[in-house]
Amino acid sequence: MAKKDSGKVSELPSTGRLSRSAIAGVAVARAGLAHLGHKAQSLTRSADQQAQARTAHEAELGRILFAALNQLKGTALKASQLLSMELGFLPEGVRRELARAHYQVTPLNRALVVKVLRQEFGQDPHTLFQHFEPQAFAAASLGQVHAATLTNGEPVAVKLQYPGMAASIGSDMRMLRSLLQTLGGHSDTLPKADIIERVMQDVEVKLAEELDYLHEAQALHWFGRHLSLPGLTIPRPIADRSTRRVLTMQRLQGEHLNEWLQTLPSQQQRDHYGQLLFDTFMHCAFGLHRLQADPHPGNFLFIPGGQLGLLDFGCTRALEPAFCQSVATLWSALLSSPPDTQRMQRAYVDMGTIDPTLSVHDFCYQLMPALAHLHAWQCLPFSQAVYDFAQYPPYPKSTPEQQRQAVQFLQHVPPDLPYFDRAYLGLTQLLKTLGAHVRTTNPWIRRT
């Protein structure tokens, strides 16, 4: 969850159904005009100029989509965040524009804070808590967090959901589907319509879960019981101060990543926390088959004494064991010397990503070259027993040609894949920021 900025606290804008539809309609019209202009100008461009123009056009489509979602706020803006992290789903230019949603925060004013607590508990903050700080210390697209103290003196964090969020999911997602399908008609690098629909269905389900704070309380309890690696701390939910729109949990004392790095920690300290983060991801993904799927660095606390606090379990994912096995098989096959293309193709078929009838020739000489840069990036840390993440390259950009080639053969996005990719990308970004040296040898991904 992002830190609240120092600007004036205000209420979320109220946008009626008709005006929300108008916002989407304007975006569709703008996308159509942009596409017509792009097509008209492409007739007089050279091949190099066309490639540059395509990249610029994708960025323009991304700006149009983000502008609409940013006006809608709430669940639409959260959907923008989720889509920006769907690796390989959207072209890089579109994805980069949608990522701007991570920096949009609109906190509630004090009167609405009191109103939400009265609606949920029938009581004011001063009767629910010994102390309640009316100004939030953290805020994000769906809610904000306040410091408080229980009547027994225990410090807690109270997460409040912005009003009207749940009611807007259906209409916002219908409009977003329409926008993406329309944009898909204006770009041959966007996925097929059925893939867009499957991803959107999954985003809608996860948004509904994330807006149910009792679901997050259950996730906190589950991970607290099962994720028992030494060095981890997970806050305990407080049941009698939690509802679907309010979540009260134990308040952990520590520093977020950027604050902790300003203390100039030693390489040994960086490596310690880096190893904790890596082991946690691997154990969750391949051992427990359940992920904390929001990779925001604000969801981790560096606690004195070497403990790592895990925060925000609103977005979690139970992974199918067969999916996890297919990922392990694929990455192990990629790390083989030489790469085992037969096992790679079998892993893709098992995940349902490609048609079982795809020829070996097309798999090896058409699809794999289009994905080679992504595969190399994913598997690089496992190529060495101890990897220096300070040297880890940024997530590779796909060229328009690579995107078109991949879209041609990839027939399905496994439901678990976006969450796995998102969590892995977040992990690698954290480890790179830490500059950690990490033992990547593990029981699941093996080099042969």
CB 317 within 8 A of CB 324: no
Residue-wise DSSP of 263-332: T---HHHHHHHHHHHHHHHHIIIIII-EEE----GGGEEEETTTEEEE---SSEEEPPHHHHHHHHHHHH
pLDDT at 73: 63
Who contacts 322 (Cβ-Cβ below 8 Å, separation ≥6)? Answer: 350
> Residue 52 CA to chain centroid, in angstroms?
28
CA atoms of 199 and 204, how far apart (whole Å): 9
Task: Walk along the chain (448 residues) in steps of 10 and give the mean pLDDT of each run.
Answer: 38 49 71 65 62 73 75 70 65 70 58 91 95 86 89 96 80 76 63 74 83 94 94 96 96 93 97 98 97 83 95 92 97 95 96 93 94 95 97 88 84 87 92 97 91
CB 76 within 8 A of CB 168: yes
Task: Name the burial class of residue 16, with classes exposed (0-12), middle (13-18) and buried (19+) by CB atoms within 10 angstroms of its CB.
Answer: exposed
- Tokens representing residue 109 in the block: 């004013």
Q: What is the number of H-type helices and E-type strands within the chain? A: 17, 12
**From the CB of residue 149, how many other CB atoms can be counted at a distance below 10 Å?**
15
Quick check: helix, strand or coil at residue 244? coil
Who contacts 105 (Cβ-Cβ below 8 Å, separation ≥6)? Answer: 2, 4, 5, 139, 140, 141
pLDDT at 86: 60
pLDDT at 1: 44
Task: Name the burial class of residue 39, with classes exposed (0-12), middle (13-18) and buried (19+) by CB atoms within 10 angstroms of its CB.
Answer: exposed
CA atoms of 284 and 38, how far apart (whole Å): 45
In angstroms, what CA-CA distances link 384 with 43, 158, 279, 415? 48, 43, 16, 30
Which residue is associated with the tokens 């579109």? Answer: 94
CATH architecture, domain 107-161+212-251: 2-Layer Sandwich (3.30)
**From the CB of residue 178, how many other CB atoms can be counted at a distance below 10 Å?**
15
pLDDT at 118: 94
Query: Domain coordinates of the chain in residue numbers?
Result: 17-104+167-190, 107-161+212-251, 255-448
